[in-house]
Structure 1
Amino acid sequence: MRIGIIAHLKHAICEPFAGGLEMHTSMLQGALRRRGHDVTVFASSRSEPAAFVEAICDETSLLAIGCNEAPDKAFFQEHHAYLSLMNGLRRRSFDLIHNNSLHYLPVAMADALPMPLVTTLHTPPFAWLESGVRLCRAPHATFVAVSDSIRRSWSKVAPVDHVIMNGINLDRFAFHAAPAPEPYLVWYGRIVPEKGLHHAITAAALIGANLLIAGPISDQDYFDREVGPRLNDQIRYLGHLPHVELAVVVGGARAFLCTPCWEEPYGLVVAEALACGVPVAAFARGAIPELLDAGCGVLATPDDPASLARAATAAQGLDRGSCRARAEQRCDAERMIDEYEALYAGLIDRAARSMPEKQFAA
């Protein structure tokens, strides 16, 4: 199959990944290419691998543009990039387009394409994307949710045709049968208010545990206000680590703290921790309860650090082998790719039977 993947443009698709969406896009294109598909990724500049990327825009994050120019400059950069892309795709010979962006235009303009469009919904509804979904009238547009939680959140906006749970490359997260000799908890991810790092710091302090923190600072004001002043010998920030270093840090932890302050759409960091054999203590929000069971995680009351502290204490007693087994059962990227491949094939076959042959010409 010849597949085009539309990425979002705020960050380059390259390591160290800015977040889960960048990692997901990179993993998806790599796995599809290894299975013999011809894949092109439409992304921002600096994305990798360069041989399979068509850069349609520079990065549009606040850090890339500068706060004095954003968000107006970012809005128009993205708008014009996606508008040009969607117009150009009408004349391309892809079998299918997979929209992995969070932008309204690829969805709103789906009826301009001669080929099927699959849109993966990675977040709960928000104003711009919801408007695009509501405008979508293309009969060959299909929506996929990354969890049942996301499917439910979109149910009043548009029918979600499929739920395909995200996955990770289990080979990149080696199983650690035992934690590091020096005990610590770990928190990692994008450092922004909605990820709730401040709750993890409070919970660790309540039980006197060491906490290692890793991830990009995506909201400097939040870091300076809620995180920086609380760093000490017990609570340490390691920076935005390359994958190899991050996997070692995560794998050595006694437990991983997951503290979403919003309805977490999936929780790739949870899947990664489980793959390393690390038990999870998490707020019961969004899709997190879909990933965990009693053998690999302990759920806490959302926004309650004391409840999280109790969950962290309990989680440290869980069997690390059960955590890895749960990741293999629920979080394997190969299962995810199998499901997307089957979906693609069905949509392409249906389109071939319902559209004139000339529409698929280059």
Structure 2
Amino acid sequence: MKILLIADPGIPVPPEFYGGHERLVYLFAEEYQRLGHQVTLLAGPESSISGKVYTFGRNDLKRSKIQKIRELIYVWYLLTLKRNQFDVIHNFGRLLYLLPVLKNPVKKIMTYGRGVSANGIQKISTFNPKNLIFTACSNYCVSTGNVAGNWRTVYNAINFSDYFIQKQVLKEAPLMFLGRLDKIKGVHTAIKVAKATNHTLWIGGNIPDTLDNYQYYKQEIEPYIDGKQIIYLGALNNVQKNQYLRKAKALLFPIEWNEPFGLVMIEAMACGTPVIGFKKGSVAEVIEEGITGLIVNTINEMINAVDKVVFIDRYICKKRAEAKFDIKVIARQYLNIFDNTH
């Protein structure tokens, strides 16, 4: 099968640090290739996979609207020129990229990793597209866009073989927070939980660059970072995430918004590290209660869960998550959708 994967420019595929969606595209590209398919990637500069790569746009998340229009025109030109060269177009970028091939019989998958614009789905559906299926990374995420069209839930994935388990950690092992240091991610709550339970907290993630979140970081996070109990590790690459996650007692996921998926949860599980997460967005779909983590509703429940999490078997945690979220499992789910689209 000849498969074209499309990702927005802004961050290269694969990313070095932040870029969960771009990492996902890379994993699919490599797994499809490993299974014998011919893969082409259309993504931002410096992107690289085992197959063929077309690059476009700029690696700049703050690029202008004019630049994004230029990128859109380039994708339209390329798809118009080469649309008959592919059996499947798997789009992780803008929905508008698919406009030139909506009536073309080529199989099309539009995948969402964040909340969906229902208005965009309604508009694109007025074209009566052929062989187009929408997927999103959780039932919650599907619910944000399922106003028209053919929808499926396909969870996000990681390569579990890249993560190493530590089957036992000490009762006083550090807790960990991993993610952008934005207010909606709740790192301030993680700090309160660590202090209330007398645990060290490792914090890994990018310092925000938006004004409101940078002020939040300066006022509510930075004053508590002492290098002893509350330790900021910086932005972590895959090797570093692996190193810290497997030594942590638990990953805290105290989100204040409806997270569409949360890759860091399954990255922790891949190390055998259970997750304690607030019941918002996809959390109840990702965490298997008492097996891969604990689902809570309040900060007091999260504090109490820190002692309970030691009863979770870390080996079983990894194996149960792997059976549901490993790249080999999820890639085959997509290939089944490709095969059954007509």
Quick check: TM above 0.5?
Answer: yes
Q: Give the equivalent residue in structure 2 for 1:121.
A: 112
Aligned to 1:33: 33
Aligned to 2:293: 297
Shift of the alpha carbon at 1:240?
A: 1.4
> Runs of 5+ in structure 2 lacking a partner?
none
Residue aligning to 1:162? 152
Q: Which residue of structure 2 lines up, in the alignment, with residue 336 of structure 1? A: 330
Which residue number in structure 2 is paired with residue 60 of structure 1?
60
**Cα distance change, pair 50–331 in 1 and its aligned pair in 2 (3 A):** closer
Give the Cα separation in 2 of the matches to 1:333 and 1:84: 30
- Distance in 2 (CA, whole Å) between partners of 1:313 and 1:107 is 49
Q: CA deviation at 1:256?
A: 0.6
- C-alpha distance in structure 1 between counterparts of 2:104 and 2:255, whole Å: 37
CA contact (8 A) 1:60 1:77 kept: no
Distance change (3 Å), C-alpha of 1:126 and 1:198: farther
Contact 2:158 2:266 in 1 (8 A): yes
Alpha-carbon distance between aligned partners in 1 of 2:188 and 2:325, rounded to the nearest angstrom: 27
SS at match of 2:222: helix
With over 3 angstroms needed to count, the CA separation of the structure-2 counterparts of 1:229 and 1:327, relative to structure 1, is: same
Where does residue 311 of structure 2 map in the other structure? Answer: 317
Give the aligned partner of residue 183 of structure 1.
173
Q: 2:190 — aligned with what? A: 200
Would the aligned equivalents of 1:90 and 1:112 in 2 still touch at CA under 8 Å? Answer: no
Once residues 168 and 50 of structure 1 are traced to their aligned partners in structure 2, the CA distance between those partners, rounded to angstroms, is 18
2:8 and 2:43 in contact (8 A); partners too: yes
- Encode CA deviations 1:199-232: one digit per residue, 9 max, x unaligned: 2122212222111011223436143333222211
SS at 1:334's partner residue? helix
* Number of the residue aligned with 1:255: 250
Inter-partner Cα distance in structure 2 for 1:306 and 1:135: 48
Corresponding pairs, count: 334
Higher deviation after alignment, 167-176 or 109-118: 109-118
1:307 aligns with 2:301: yes
Question: Structure 1 vs Structure 2: percent identity of aligned residues?
Answer: 27
Q: Deviations along 1:310-360, whole A, 9 cap, x unmatched?
A: 22332233221221122122112111011111211233xx3xxxxxxxxxx
RMSD: 2.3
CA contact (8 A) 2:103 2:130 kept: no
Alignment of 1:97-136 (within 5 A): 97-101=89-93, 103-111=94-102, 113-126=104-117, 130=121, 133=124
Matched, 1:138 2:129: yes
- The TM-score, its normalising length taken from structure 1, stands at 0.85
Q: 1:213 to 1:83 in 2, by over 3 A?
A: same
Counterpart Cα distance in 2 of 1:12 and 1:110? 25
Deviation at 1:267, TM superposition (A): 1.9
Is residue 2:11 matched to residue 1:11? Answer: yes
Q: CA deviation at 1:127?
A: 7.2
Q: Secondary structure of 1:13's match?
A: coil
Give 1:135 shift.
5.4
Q: CA deviation at 1:147?
A: 1.4
TM-score (norm 2): 0.89
Q: Contact between 2:167 and 2:272, CA under 8 Å: does it hold in 1?
A: yes
1:66-105 equivalences in 2 (<5 Å): 73=64, 75-92=65-82, 93-101=85-93, 103-105=94-96
Answer yes or no: is the 8 Å Cα contact 1:255–1:312 preserved in 2: yes
**In structure 1, what is the Cα distance between the partners aligned to 2:92 and 2:26?**
11
User: Residue type of the partner of 2:292?
Assistant: C
- Matched residue type, 2:183: P
CA contact (8 A) 1:5 1:42 kept: yes
